[in-house]
Structure 1
């Protein structure tokens, strides 16, 4: 029986990566005097490293051919803080992915706790929870530096399970990436993967179900890739549908 649902943030709730985080990183680089451009292909490769600061460091250590900042740790921290400020100015106008608000409202109505588990900055997570998803009740928000190990390590989901005082088999996680799916499965949770343009070709096979999105009746509808669920409304995944599965 599912007693809680945990959501990744970027790519699951909002398509933030290509036209959000990526652009914010580029603007921050420019402000810091670096003529660096992350095209879509490169950014997809960088997304295999969980965490924004970790991603910056990985880029300078493995991709950048110029002079690396003398104090890379300090530089990374300061640039990431500025990137977060830039992104926060963008995120409130970005649309939710199909079915997200509807599904969360169903969970609230059923008194099922909702949590956010993301490698993004806590300021970003709280902004999305309080502004973009205003009216939705969240039981917990775990983000960025609140954990020592980033995905694919299961720490963030293990902490959420401990906070909620539930077993892994009582928790459903909604993820969108290979490292996210691996983290949730390593914690022992059920996983529904909703892919996006960045992750549609990633290996999400460890997930229990793979689907294009949660679906909206009058908008984009859910299309299953791995396994399928009998849906009460065609193309729309409801919590009631999932209760009959897990």
Structure 2
């Protein structure tokens, strides 16, 4: 694996524990509009962009008085509030990224989350200056599992997709990276229910010493 030049991170569930905030905001906002948000249907929105989530609930239970864009921004605003006020850091991720930077890897971020939320996350973690490229699926025609965001991340990093490692926690994200021709490391976060079968490697935690990271082949030296 010593030929790799770039490491691209997913955001929600990989560098920050924010997925429960999205579900909370989804429930609060759409129930306030009269939608009956059930656990079964909410599970279907997990890998969607916020725009797709808004359309999903509107088709189930149309509301009046607010357009889709306003509702989408309500969800995003609530998630931002929760990230700013709640403990949601993933242990060891900042040190992990800094270690990769020391080893001269290019670092990217590719997320289905909207652009507006990214600065909040980076500030919360104190990692604003560590990324060479930051991409949101908000500016792509389709979000993950479509691979376009990963192709564009490689382009922004001036790196061939085959020279990129992607760290993901979701099946749709891993599928997007694999379809872009990239090597995938699943960040399991010790989640026994998630599907990681298509990943090339797995890590349970970012609190890894250099010896274990070298064993995985991530470090060149």
TM-score range, shorter chain: 0.7 to 0.9
Match of 2:126? 133
| CA distance in 1: counterparts of 2:89 and 2:43, whole angstroms | 21
Q: Which residue of 2 aligns with 1:29?
A: 30
Displacement of 1:86 in angstroms is 1.3
Q: CA deviation at 1:125?
A: 1.3
Contact kept in structure 2, 1:172 and 1:189, CA below 8 Å: yes
Residue 177 of structure 1, CA deviation = 0.5
- TM-score by structure 2 length? 0.85
Residue in 2 that maps onto 1:225:
none
SS in 2 for 1:27: helix
SS in structure 2 of the partner of residue 165 of structure 1: coil
Scaled by the length of structure 1, what TM-score is found? 0.77
Q: Which residue of 2 aligns with 1:53?
A: 51
Higher relative contact order (CA 8 A, sep 6+): 2
Query: 2:5 maps to what in 1?
Result: 3
Gaps of 5+ in 1: 218-230
Contact 1:2 1:172 in 2 (8 A): yes
- Give the paired residue count: 218
The 3 A distance-change label for structure 1 pair 157 and 213 is same
Residue aligning to 2:89: 96
Relative to structure 1, the CA distance from residue 47 to residue 240 in structure 2 (aligned partners, 3 Å threshold; closer, same or farther) is closer
| Deviation by residue 1:14-49 (Cα, 9 ceiling, x = unmatched) | 12112x111112222244x3254454x54333214x
Deviations 1:117-144 (A, max 9, x none): 0010111112212342345421111013
The runs of 5 or more residues in structure 2 that have no matched partner are: none
Cα displacement (A) at 1:112: 1.8
1:242 equivalent in structure 2:
218
Alpha carbons of structure 1 residues 118 and 134: separation in structure 2 relative to 1, 3 Å? same
CA deviations over 1:49-68 (Å, ceiling 9, x no partner)? x211202322343xx3x4x2
Which residue is equivalent to 2:160?
Answer: 167
TM-superposed CA distance for 1:176, in Å, is 0.5
Q: Deviations over 1:190-221 (max 9, x none)?
A: 11011247x6434322210123232357xxxx
Q: CA RMSD in A?
A: 2.7
